[in-house]
Amino acid sequence: MTSMMNAADLAGARPCDPGSQAAGLERTRFFPRQLVGPEDLTQDQTYFREKSRRHNRMLHGWGVVCGACVRRGNNECEVVIEPGYILGPWGDEIVIDREVTIDLCKQGSGERSGCCGDDVDPWCADSQAQCKEGRLYIAVRYSECQSRPVQSSGGGCGCGCDEAGCEYSRIRDSFAIKVLRELPAPYTTPMAQPDLSSLIPCMRQRVARRCPPCPPEPWVVLADVVVGADCRLLGPIDCMAHRRYVLSFADFYLTCGPQAGTTVGAGAYAGTTISNSVLVGRTMSMMTGTTDLVDVRMAMAGEPARATVTLARDDGSRVSVPAFFDVHAGETVRDMLAREGGRELYDPASDRIMTLRALYEGAGVPMDTHVHGVTSALAVLEGRTVRAARVAPDPDHTDGPSTDSAPSANEPSSSSALGGHEAGKGAPGGGKDKEAAEIPRNRPKRRK
């Protein structure tokens, strides 16, 4: 036996309002021979519940974490909500632990409790004749149920008016589903993607990050549906138009493969793994939508580049190169690259890493050119072509075979792609020239 609780809604108070959080900032201090009542024991629950709500709301935000997909049911009136996990606007965890079928023709815009099975409050449901034709929104919010009634010596009529009386001994986390006629705040049409600067405060010209306000409504939209005057579904269900996803790392992980030459079992590892540099560059390019080169070292710093230069790729597209490196007045390009040549640049077009040295060598910049600052160091690249990016050699490892994948028959070799000599042509030593082009000149000699 259960009983639905809507205390927060009935009182009109939001749990995340400043005034309503005061009780959640105190925990009970017990001492010997203390007279303890129900409110003392409940206070610790309140403290940790409000602490968890603040944590969720301030650090994770709110929206759908996983699941909670909506699909058509067995007839034109039914929609089925699949199990899912959601963080509510007020910081509550919402767990839909089973498939829930909603009959739009019966429920209308009434509210359906996850505690009460298929029961719908007839006083809160619309009749078929009053069903609003057009777009409706299927939404969910956090709810609670009182459960497990037990006999109580306190008397009263908790669940029957016998002499002993009874009280509910448990409160169960649950959910309530409603078909909304209007889009709840702060949803918008279309949904706006937050700027990356909301994650990195330093990108906001060093403006302090504000605490997010308490959302005005507890609803999380799961899907948009279009219905006729008889509440029957018209067209497909749209689960993405107003779906707000919470950033989750549940399926994301990093792997650190052994370096080349490291013994693994009975053999030696000679495969190729995705480096952290590629992951950083790929993440930043996806989050910002940029197609320009990304300086891996400065990707998350939020600082603007000292200067940029625009070059052409092999396919004719334009790409900007940011300058975060230092230039000493009067030095040559060779001297600059001896110090800064290992800086890694991620190319979104090829999903590969190239070094600053490879960029200059591939563009054919004379190494004896003198530069006097960042601007002149970029000026020598103006109008040149960026060759196809390749995997940069690992500056921290010199032993073992290269982890670069071999070029296909239709793909130029690494040396020709970088503007160097082809193997066996134009340079003494034949095939050795390719290896020399891939290894920076300032790398330590291989140990024997």
Q: Which of 24, 47, 13, 141 is nearest to 88 (CA)?
A: 141
Could you read off the pLDDT of 39-96 as tens digits, one per residue? Answer: 999 999 999 999 999 999 999 999 999 999 999 999 999 999 999 999 999 999 999 9
Could you read off the pLDDT of 9-19 as tens digits, one per residue? Answer: 433 467 777 76
Q: Which of 146, 134, 82, 84 is nearest to 109 (CA)?
A: 134
pLDDT given for residue 385 in this prediction: 84
Q: Where are the alpha helices (DSSP H) in 144-303?
A: 276-288
Domain extent listing, the chain:
2-27+35-190+214-227, 273-394+414-438
Task: Please indicate, yes or no, whether the overall pTM of this predicted structure exceeds 0.85.
Answer: no
Structure tokens that stand for 251 in this block: 């399926």
Q: Which of 344, 357, 352, 335 is nearest to 420 (CA)?
A: 357
CA pair distance 279, 285, nearest whole angstrom = 10
Whether residue 343 contacts residue 297, with contact meaning beta carbons closer than 8 Å, is answered with yes
pLDDT given for residue 411 in this prediction: 38
Q: Which of 144, 241, 122, 227 is nearest to 191 (CA)?
A: 241
pLDDT given for residue 288 in this prediction: 61
Whether residue 61 contacts residue 67, with contact meaning beta carbons closer than 8 Å, is answered with no
Amino acid at site 305: A
Residue given tokens 């016998």 in the structure block: 162
Tell me the sheet residues that pair with 275: none
pLDDT given for residue 406 in this prediction: 36
Distances in Å between the Cα of 47 and the Cα atoms of 88, 175, 434 are 18, 22, 66
Residue ranges in the chain whose pLDDT is less than 50: 7-12, 121, 123-129, 262, 264, 266-272, 389-448
Q: Name residues whose C-beta falls within 8 Å of residue 110's C-beta, 6 or more positions apart in sequence.
A: 120, 121, 124, 125, 126, 178, 179
pLDDT given for residue 349 in this prediction: 81
